[in-house]
Amino acid sequence: MRGDRAENPGWRLAKGLRGLMAAAVDAVYPPVCTGCGRMVGQHRGVCPDCWATLRLIERPYCEVLGVPFSHDLGAGILSADAIANPPVFERLRSVAIHDGIAKSLVHGLKYRDRTDLAVMMAQWMVRASDGSVEACDAIVPVPLHAFRLWARKFNQSAELARAIARISARPYLPNALTRIKRTAQQVGLGATAREDNVRGAFAVTEAGRAALFGKRVVLVDDVYTTGATVSAATRALKKAGAQDVTVLTFARAMSGLI
């Protein structure tokens, strides 16, 4: 089949035209590092210097909170925080520590309108989910309040969730969860203030109740800091009948390894 296609003059012409178009695009918009802007070999690439700043979260880590351990403590080991303060969600997975290129990518998407970064970040998030994306019934983004969405024009968590759903061919439910409380910015708030700020901030819509009842959900956000926001969102999902919630973020803030 492949040999027959290669012998087809029309197929060869189409392939040649695609190559010329790709070359033209590269000439006008050359591939550059998504972190520093240095020229790289392909679009959505990262140069070696920026890649060196990426602190990927790899095993061994806490099976519940995804906190990386400095050494392997054995299969199924939980962190002290997961034991003392079990989260309302079943598990948390993140691509990298919120530092270096990971922090630059998050800020580029969130504050500099770099929605083109979402696909690359989503690819890494699917891998970091450790099979949770493939096993889920629905992908749900952490929503913005209508006023903040109007001001920002887009929801960075929704951009990531949409790309994850497209890559994994899992159902994307952007309207299942809504933010009913206009909260203050979480940046700069302590853990307790963050919890108070988002308490009761989320609700599942009527359509969401029917779609989420008894289902396994992946809840997508850009950064995990104290967990206040995703915990409040998870409570709303669980109240509506969601059976299992995995929180999936691109980055997580933490000071060091356990």
pTM, two decimal places: 0.83
Looking at residue 47, its pLDDT comes to 87
- Write down the pLDDT at residue 196: 62
Instruction: For residue 14, give the 3-state DSSP assignment.
Output: helix
Q: Over range 78-101, report the average pLDDT.
A: 95
Model confidence band, residue 79 (pLDDT cutoffs 50, 70, 90)? very high
Of residues 118 and 190, the one with the higher pLDDT is: 118
pLDDT value at 207 more than 50:
yes
pLDDT at 205: 94
Q: How far is CA 226 from CA 18, 83, 184, 195, 223, in A?
A: 47, 16, 16, 9, 10
Cβ-based burial of 23 (10 A; exposed 0-12, middle 13-18, buried ≥19): exposed
Yes or no: say if 107 and 156 are a contact pair by the CB < 8 Å rule: no
pLDDT at 72: 84
pLDDT (0 to 100) of residue 189: 62
Q: How confident is the model at residue 1 (pLDDT cuts 50, 70, 90)?
A: very low
Phi/psi class of residue 82: alpha, beta or left (left: φ > 0; alpha: ψ in -120 to 50)?
A: alpha
Query: If pLDDT is split at 50, 70 and 90, which confidence band does 75 have?
Result: confident
Q: Tell me which of 86 and 151 has the higher pLDDT.
A: 86
Q: Would you state the pLDDT for residue 187?
A: 65
Q: Residue 199: is its pLDDT beyond 80?
A: no
In 113-152, at which residue ranges do the beta strands (DSSP E only) sit? Answer: 138-141
**pLDDT, averaged across the chain:** 84
14-23, 117-126, 156-165, 190-199: least confidently modelled range: 14-23
What is 51-252's CATH number? 3.40.50
Burial zone of 36 (CB within 10 Å; 0-12 exposed, 13-18 middle, 19+ buried): middle
Between residues 41 and 125, the one the model is more confident about: 125
